[in-house]
Amino acid sequence: MHEVIEFEKVSFRYPDEEKWILEGLSFTVLRGERIVITGPSGCGKTTLLYLCNRLYPDNCDGILSGSIKLFGKESLSFIPGEINHRIATVFQDPDAQFCMQTVEEELAFTLENLHTKRDEMEKRISDVLTLTDLTEFRHAIIQKLSGGQKQRIATACALIMEPEVLLLDEPLSHLDPFTAKKYVEWLDNLQQKRTMTIIAIEHRLDLWEDFFERNIPLHNGKVTSKLEKRTSSTQENNSLVVSKVQAMPFLKETTFTLNHGEVTVLAGPNGSGKSTLLKALCQLIPTTGTVVPLNLGYVPQSPEFLFLTQNVLDEVSFGGGNSSMEMMTRLQLLPIADSHPFSVSHGQKRRVAIAAMLCDGREIILMDEPTSGQDSAALFELFHLIDERAREGTTFLIVTHDMEFAHYLADSVLLMKDGQLTGKFNAEAVWEDRQLLMDHHLLRPKGVIGHEECFA
């Protein structure tokens, strides 16, 4: 083995900020290694990845000092784009890297940029779709797919370049637990076949088991208390009444009710219709049926779609709430108060959107993957904010693949599969029903049965 990436006393900051995001960082990555980068949200993990693939400093006018070598050559000696077929990246937000309408077109576009001969394209596209178990999505329109399916497609687009190094920015964040576990198993097999170097950013390491050989921690973060199972805050009177809501062609007729103060988790396999249901409830897509009331708060999977202002503090305060400074403090947003919402990390963007919605005073709040990109300190604070608001009567409907978080938080669980609501269940009954979990690609939370998993 030899060095593929070398950092020596590397420091980096953006031109409009005085504080260094990375400072004096030195490490070496050897060919074939499996490395995970950990640390609190906003500590520079994604920035580090972008320095590895030459996106930074060229694409952000950043200030860089120290030495970065890629495959033994100074990083800055590569011309723009030269290194990107050898070091492929799967971004935290897969939408950010798609250019074409369908999966096949996206894969072909990648090969065209590599000047692949046309008679070779068909085989490489078919091979990578088979490898990633995406053959059935070959002609699918990307923007109609779920977040988890998009994540797998983005990985296929990276792999079709046959890279030597694969960079992954929280690849499990939008995958259901069963699919995430299979993804890790698949990646393990792939890495052994190709002796590929893998560098991943990850907050939750439980599903990776012993996949990684080495951890590069950027910051130790805070020591936080462990979550404890909350007692139910559900009241007897209805808060949200959903009757025969349907969104053609995928979301089948859906009926359920939630009570004041109820915290409900919406779970199910990737592509089962969870995000589609939230959009239908908010009237963001054409629907039939009725939703009462109509004035729902909504934090989407891509929180930047909500942003309207030029800095984080203004964004959190936009709804006119009187608790914006409390939200900023509790969700660790004060250090970025003057930053543009689009310039902060993925995890911070999500907390900005959550803080803004909690300040807005809505009685019913829908959240799509609020735990994605969050470190343990942020999750702890988010848990308690939801609990406090629920006890004041706010109703929450939360899409998440994090079953540990769901176990500690949820009063009830809505399960979906193939565009249809399976039913509404008491949360504890779900964790104890092995078949129900298997049917919906879920794993039992470790807080329920120690370290035993429900899949062999």
pLDDT value of residue 18: 79
Whether 255 has a pLDDT exceeding 50, the answer reads yes
Whether 141 has a pLDDT exceeding 60, the answer reads yes
| Inter-helix orientation angle 147-159/103-113, to 10° | 30
Contact 305, 349 (CB under 8 A): no
pLDDT value of residue 223: 42
Q: How many CB atoms lie within 10 A of CB 63?
A: 13
pLDDT value of residue 179: 80
pLDDT value of residue 435: 92
Whether 222 has a pLDDT exceeding 80, the answer reads no
Against a cut of 0.75, is the pTM above it? no
Whether 454 has a pLDDT exceeding 60, the answer reads no
Q: Which two tokens stand for residue 249?
A: 């062609």
Give the single-character DSSP code of 429: H
Provide the residue type at 317 as one letter. S
Whether 91 has a pLDDT exceeding 60, the answer reads yes
pLDDT value of residue 451: 38
Element (H, E) at 277: helix 274-281
pLDDT value of residue 456: 35
Q: Give which of 272, 240, 232 is closest to 410, Cα–Cα.
A: 232
Segment among 297-301, 317-321, 347-351, 438-442 with least mean pLDDT: 317-321
pLDDT value of residue 343: 86
For residues 265 and 112, what is the distance between their CA atoms, to the nearest angstrom? 43
Whether 449 has a pLDDT exceeding 60, the answer reads no
Banded model confidence at residue 450, pLDDT cuts 50, 70, 90: very low
Whether 225 has a pLDDT exceeding 70, the answer reads no
Whether 3 has a pLDDT exceeding 50, the answer reads yes
Q: What single string gives the DSSP state of each residue in 174-240?
A: TS-HHHHHHHHHHHHHHHHHHT-EEEEE-S--GGGTT--SEEEES------PPP-PPPP---SSEEE
For the segment 340-365, what is each residue's pLDDT rounded down to a tens digit? 999 888 889 999 999 999 998 889 99
- Highest mean pLDDT: which of 13-17, 224-228, 331-335? 331-335
pLDDT value of residue 76: 87
In this prediction, residues 334-341 reach a mean pLDDT of: 92
Banded model confidence at residue 322, pLDDT cuts 50, 70, 90: low
Percent of the chain with pLDDT over 90: 57
In this prediction, residues 401-419 reach a mean pLDDT of: 93
Whether 242 has a pLDDT exceeding 80, the answer reads yes
In this prediction, residues 103-130 reach a mean pLDDT of: 92
Average pLDDT, the chain: 88
For the segment 177-198, what is each residue's pLDDT rounded down to a tens digit? 888 888 888 889 888 877 899 9
C-alpha dihedral sign at 298, 302, 303, 305:
negative
In this prediction, residues 221-248 reach a mean pLDDT of: 83
In this prediction, residues 233-243 reach a mean pLDDT of: 94
pLDDT value of residue 377: 81
For the segment 276-316, what is each residue's pLDDT rounded down to a tens digit? 999 999 999 999 999 999 889 999 988 888 899 999 999 99
Contact 297, 356 (CB under 8 A): no
pLDDT value of residue 447: 64
Segment among 52-61, 134-143, 265-274, 380-389 with least mean pLDDT: 52-61
Whether 167 has a pLDDT exceeding 50, the answer reads yes
In this prediction, residues 37-56 reach a mean pLDDT of: 88
| Inter-helix orientation angle 177-194/147-159, to 10° | 0
Whether 248 has a pLDDT exceeding 70, the answer reads yes
Whether 409 has a pLDDT exceeding 90, the answer reads yes
Banded model confidence at residue 148, pLDDT cuts 50, 70, 90: confident
Contact 284, 277 (CB under 8 A): no
pLDDT value of residue 375: 80
